[in-house]
Amino acid sequence: MIVVSVVIFLFLLHARSALVLIVTLPLAVLLSFIPMFYQGLTVNIMSLGGIAVAIGAMVDAGVILIENIHKKLESWESGGRHGRRAEVVIGAMQEVGPSIFFSLLVITVSFLPVFTLEATEGRLFKPLAFTKTYSMGFAAVLAVTLTPVLAALFVRGRIRGEERNPLNRWLIAAYSPVVRFAVRFRKSVIVVAVVLVATTVPAFLALESEFMPPLNEGVILYMPTAPPGMSITEAGRILQSMDRQLAEFPEVERVFGKMGRARTATDPAPIGMVESVVVLKPREEWRKGLSWEDLIAEMDRELQYPGMPNIWWMPIQTRTEMLATGIRSQLGIKVFGDDLGEIEAAAVEIERAVAQVPGTRSVFAERSTGGFFLDVEVNRRKAARYGLRVRDVNDTVMAAIGGINVSQTVEGRERYSINVRYAREFRDHREALQRVLVPTPMGAQIPLPQVADIEFSTGPPMIRSEDGRLVGFVFVDIADRAIADYVEEAKSAVADSVELPPGARLEWAGQFKYLERAKARLKIVVPLTLAIVFFLLYVHTRSAIETGIVLLAVPFSVIGAFWLLYALDYNMSIAVWVGLIALAGLDAETGLVMLLYLKLAYEHRRSEGQLESSADLREAIVEGAAQRIRPKLMAVLTTMIGLVPIMWSTGTGADVMRRIAAPMVGGLVSSFLLQLTIYPAIFAIWKGRKD
C-alpha cells in the first residue's frame, strides 16, 4: 500500500487517489481467505506465496483506471468543463474497463497448468495457484464494482495536468524520440528484437533442470549407511563419534542421532542406518560468506567413515520422499529381479558405474544378502531323548536371548512391562550362548548345544518387493548438479558398463520421477492454456492480428527471464515454470494495455480526419505510446516493486519463492522495454498497410 501510494503521488500528484487502492487491495486479499477457509486450505508458505506473487498485479487494474480518470479530467478541465464530472469519470472507466477486466481474466486463466499438476508437485503448488486465482478473481470483481465507486468519491479536487509534473514531462520527452525512431526504422527494429530473442537460446540451454530447489528447513538430516552386520555396541560408538564431530561446527546448535529402527512398524530402518538431525543456528550467526551448500560440503569432507557413504538432506523432505517412494536420497535406482543374489550383484555394478559420474557425492547399493544371522536349529531326535519338544527349546532361546515379559509394574497411572533375559555378557558371543541351559521335564538343566545346533549364516537383512517382484535400491546423493542432467549422464554410464541379468530391469526413482511427470503434464496443458488465452483475447479484440500482437509480449519477456535465471545460477524447476506461467499472464496484460492506448490514439485521430499521411500515422502512434507512458510505467512499477521483496527474502521457503519471482521480474523488465519499441513498429506496419 505504501508503494502504491508513492507511485500514484509521484505520477499523479494527487494523494487522495491512492485511497482507492489502499481500500481495495487489502479487501481483495481478505476476501481471498473466504474460499480458502471453506476449501480447507491452510495458511502456509505456498498459500501466502500465491497472494504475494499476485499482489503486484492486483493493483494494476486500479492504477490504470485511476490514471485514465485523471487524463480525462485534465482534458475536461482544460476544455471548459463541458458536461458533468461524473459522466467524465464513468466514460474514462468505460474506456479502459473492458480491457482491464479481460487482462485480469487472462492472468487468472493462465494459472490453469498449475492446477493440473498431480501428486507431490500438485500438493505443493496448488495452494499457491488457488490463492493467486482467488486474489486475482476478487481484484477483477472489485475493479469493475467497488473501484469505480471509490474513484468517484476520492478522485476530486484539483487535477494537475501531465505537463505540470516534471517527472511526466521528462518521461514523454525522453520516450518520444524513441517511438519516432522505432516507427521510422520499423523493420530494422523488429529484426533486432528477433535477434535478441534468439540470443536467449544459449542462456536457456545452459540452465540445468531440477524438480525443486531445497526448502532449507533450517535442519540437516545426516544419513550414512553401514554395511549389514554391525553390532549394536559398535553402532552406538560410531553414532556418538559422528554427533560429536557435527556439534563442533559453529553453525550447529544441537545434534540428535539414532541408529536402527524405532519401536514402530512404520520404521523399517536397519541397525546400520544412521539418522542424525542437525539443528542449525539462524543464518545471521553463520560464518560470513558461508552458504548452505558450502556448509554441507564442509561437513561431508570432515565426516568420512570407512564403508559408510554419506547422504545429506533435510528431515521433512526426506520423510516425504521415503513415504512416497521408499528412497531416502535425492535419486534412487530400483533394481527389479527374481533372485536376491543377482539383484545385489547388479546393484553393486551400478554403484561402481554411478560413482564415476561427475556430481556424485556418494552412492550406496543395498546389500540384499549381506546380513549376519545366528541360527538355532533344534535337533528333534536329541531333544526327544530328554522329553523336550521343539517349542520348549525355542521358548528357552527366546527367554534367554530375546527376553520375555513376565509381569507388569504399576507406577501411578503408568504401566511398565517387566522383561527378563540373560545379562549382555552371557549372550553376546557364541561361546556364551552355548552355556544357555534348557530345563527338562525331569528337572535337569542341560546345555543348549546338546539339543540344538548353533551356527552363523548370511542372508538378506531386508527383503523388499514392489510390483510383485523382488527389488533392491541404489541410493545416490548428488552435489553441485541439477538432477535431470545428472540422470541423463548416469543412465548412459550404467548402460555402457552394467549388464543386467535376464529378466531384471531398472527404474529411476526419487525427485527425477516427479520432474518427468510434471514436464509431461505441462507439455500438454501449457499449449492448451495458450489456446484458451488466445480465445479470450480474440473475444475481446475481435481480431486475430491484435490478439497475435498482444501475445508477442511472451517471447519478448523470456529474454529477461532466462538471462536473469542464468545470472542468478538458478536451475529450471517446477518453481521456475510456475513463475514463467505467471509471467505469461502478466505479459498478456501489459500487451493488451499497450495495444489499447495505441488503438485509442489511432481511432481518435481518424475520427477527427487527422490520418491523411504516414506522418499523421507516426504522430498518432507517438500520442498512443509516448503520451501514455505514464499508466504503463505505473502498472509495471507496482508489479515489479511488489515482487522485489520476494527476491530479497530469506529463511525457510525463500529459495522456492525467489525462483517463482525471478522469471517474473526479469521478464517484466525485458517485455516492457521491448514493448515500448516493438509495439509501435508493428502497429505502424499493420496500420500503414491497412491505410
SS3 content of the chain, % helix, strand, coil (to 5): 65, 15, 25
- Which band of pLDDT confidence, cut at 50, 70 and 90, is reported for residue 690? low
The x, y and z cell numbers of residue 312, run together, are 545429506
Identify the band that residue 689 occupies on the pLDDT scale cut at 50, 70 and 90.
low
Tell me the residue length of the chain: 691
User: Mean of the pLDDT values across residues 164-183?
Assistant: 86
Between helices 629-648 and 45-58, what is the axis angle to 10°? 160
Supply the pLDDT for residue 299.
92
Q: Per-residue pLDDT for 82 more than 80?
A: no
| Of 593, 664, 585, 594, the residue nearest 106 (C-alpha) | 585
| Percent over 70 (pLDDT), the chain | 98
Burial track 161-192 (b if 16+ CB lie within 10 A, e otherwise): ebeebeebeebbeebbebbbebbeebeebbee
H/E stretch holding 446: strand 445-447
Question: Is residue 274 helix, strand or coil?
Answer: strand
Per-residue pLDDT, 245 = 93
Torsion, Cα 406 411 412 417, to 10 degrees, reads -30
Tell me how far apart the alpha carbons of residues 268 and 286 are, in angstroms, rounded to a whole number: 35
Tell me, what's the pLDDT at 391? Answer: 92
What gap in Å lies between CA 315 and CA 303, rounded to an integer?
19
Higher pLDDT, 392 or 109: 392
98 grid coordinates: 473492458
Count Cβ neighbours within 10 Å for each residue of 466-478 and write b for 16 or more, e otherwise: eeeebbbbbbbbb
Q: Which residues of 604-629 are buried (b: 16+ CB within 10 A; e: fewer)?
A: ebeeeeebeeeeebbbbbbbbbbbbb
Torsion of CA 339, 344, 346, 349, to 10 degrees: -170
Q: What percent of the chain has pLDDT over 90?
A: 15
- pLDDT value at residue 451: 92
Q: Are 594 and 632 in contact (CB under 8 A)?
A: yes
What values do phi and psi take at 445, rounded to 5? -115, 115
Residue 357 reports pLDDT greater than 80: yes
Distance CA 1, CA 63 (A): 12
Say which residues have a Cβ less than 8 Å from residue 47's Cβ, sequence separation at least 6: 36, 41, 127, 128, 130, 131
- Does residue 246 carry a pLDDT above 90? yes
Q: Is 313 helix (H, G, I), strand (E, B) or coil?
A: strand
Domains along the chain? 1-160 (1.20.1640.10), 166-206+543-691 (1.20.1640.10), 218-313 (3.30.70.1430), 372-459 (3.30.2090.10)
Mean pLDDT, to the nearest integer, of 21-43? Answer: 89
Among the listed residues 508, 514, 515, the one whose alpha carbon sits nearest the alpha carbon of residue 350? 508
Element (H, E) at 70: helix 60-78
Q: Provide the 10 A C-beta neighbour count for residue 356.
A: 11
Q: Pick the residue with more confidence: 246 or 430? A: 246
Q: Are 363 and 309 in contact (CB under 8 A)?
A: yes
Q: Which pLDDT value is given to residue 249? A: 93
Give the range with max mean pLDDT: 55-59, 81-85, 311-315.
311-315
Residue 247 has pLDDT above 90, yes or no: yes
Q: Specify the pLDDT at position 410.
A: 92
Answer yes or no: is pLDDT of 369 > 60.
Answer: yes
- Phi/psi at 492 (5° precision): -65, -40
pLDDT per residue over 186-205, tens digit each? 889 889 988 988 989 898 88
Which pLDDT tens digit goes with each residue over 30-39? 999 999 999 9
The pLDDT, as a whole number, for residue 674 is 84
Indicate if the pLDDT at residue 691 is higher than 60.
no
CA–CA gap between residue 633 and residue 227 (Å, rounded) = 63
Q: What is the DSSP letter of 155?
A: S
Mean predicted confidence (pLDDT) in 521-526: 85
Q: What is the pLDDT of residues 378-407, one digit of tens each?
A: 999 999 999 999 999 999 888 888 888 889
Say yes or no to pLDDT of 654 above 80: no
φ, ψ for residue 465, nearest 5 deg: -140, 145
Higher pLDDT, 407 or 636: 407
pLDDT exceeds cutoff 60 at 146: yes
Which class for 50: exposed (0-12), middle (13-18), buried (19 or more C-beta within 10 A)? Answer: buried
Grid cell in block for residue 151: 474513484
Is 594 in a helix, a strand, or coil? helix
What pLDDT score was predicted for residue 446?
A: 92
Cα angle value 306/309/314 (rounded, 5°): 140
For range 671-675, the mean pLDDT: 85
CB 472 within 8 Å of CB 353: no
Residue-wise pLDDT tens digits, 221-235: 999 988 777 778 888
Q: How far is CA 337 from CA 345, 436, 461, 636, in A?
A: 11, 41, 17, 58
Mean residue pLDDT of the chain comes to: 85
